Amino acid sequence: MTISNMSSTSGTKANLISLQSTMDLLNRAKQRFAMGKRGNSAPDRTISYFTAQDHMARANDLSTLKNAMSEAIRTIKVADNTIQGVMNLIQTAKGLADLAHSADLNYRAILANRYNDLLDQIGDMANDASYKGVNLLNGNDLAITFNEDGSSQMTVNGFSADSAGLGIDAVAGDWSDTSTIDDAVQQLDAALKSLRDNSAAMSSSLNIVSARQDFTTNMINTLTDGANQLTEADLNEEGANMLTLQTRQALGTTALSLSVQAAQSVLRLFG
């Protein structure tokens, strides 16, 4: 009797444990199917799961660097656009100097004042070329990092783009001396050459940063795709698993019910 009761109880417990295991597997399959992911719980965290986590961590780090590259690109563009504006002002200053060659002394004095005003505007424009606290036309340098460990970097060197930095002197007198007009034209031509050289350097730096930004974007996409492939659930497989487990659940429920009925029948013999 004791043996029979123990046997019945043991069978019931075995069926119950089997049913609980099936329920756990079914719930996991439902979760995978609903979320489209595997690796959401501790039992699923295989090497693939942690590899995917590493991929996503690196992708997040690169995303931060990519944002910094975007800001660097804007900083360089602000500087290069300002260079073009300064060059336009210098061309205007050259026009005033050319007029002064054929002007009388009174008009030369007026042109000299306008010339000095233009030099002030050049300085103001250069000082206003700041983006997020970095002004490449005020002598600031811009450091850019391209990878997570900082081993790949570049520095965009700034320069002074005001009249003093460009070597353009203000008119001290009234341009009554023609040689001072010629000196001004020479200084303006040298400033234009310097600005063109610096603009070319800015454009080169801009191309490098843009290329690295595109590379980083592709790397982020590759890492994200790799992580997804390691953790994405096969919906067809999970759907088939759900059907199988639902069938197993039904059979387990029936087996548990039969075990309980058998145990109750044994007990009734001694009721």
pLDDT tens series, the chain, 271 aa: 444 444 446 666 666 676 566 666 556 655 654 554 555 554 555 677 788 888 999 999 999 999 999 999 999 999 999 999 999 999 999 999 999 999 999 999 999 999 999 999 999 999 999 999 999 999 999 999 999 999 999 999 999 999 999 999 999 989 999 999 999 999 999 999 999 999 999 999 999 999 999 999 999 999 998 887 776 654 455 555 656 656 766 665 665 565 556 555 555 555 5
Whichever domain contains 58, its CATH number is 1.20.1330.10
What is the C-alpha to C-alpha distance for residues 131 and 81, in angstroms, rounded to an integer? Answer: 12
In a domain, 40, yes or no: no
What is the C-alpha to C-alpha distance for residues 253 and 128, in angstroms, rounded to an integer? Answer: 78
Q: What are residue 161's phi and psi, to 5 degrees?
A: -110, 15
The pLDDT of residue 261: 60
- 114 and 247 belong to one structural domain: no
How does pLDDT run across 166-182, given as a tens digit for each residue?
999 999 989 999 999 99
DSSP string, 29-51: HHHHHHHSBS--SGGG--HHHHH
Residues in the chain: 271
Q: Residues near 154 by Cβ (< 8 Å), separated by ≥ 6?
A: 143, 144, 146, 205, 208, 209
- 64 and 135 belong to one structural domain: yes
- 20 and 51 belong to one structural domain: no
- 96 and 225 belong to one structural domain: yes
Q: Residues near 63 by Cβ (< 8 Å), separated by ≥ 6?
A: 220
User: What is the pTM assigned to this prediction?
Assistant: 0.71
- 195 and 124 belong to one structural domain: yes
In a domain, 41, yes or no: no
Q: Which domain holds residue 163?
A: 47-231
> How many domains does the chain contain in total?
2
- 20 and 116 belong to one structural domain: no
What is the C-alpha to C-alpha distance for residues 176 and 180, in angstroms, rounded to an integer? Answer: 8
- 264 and 152 belong to one structural domain: no
Cβ neighbours, 10 Å, residue 56: 18
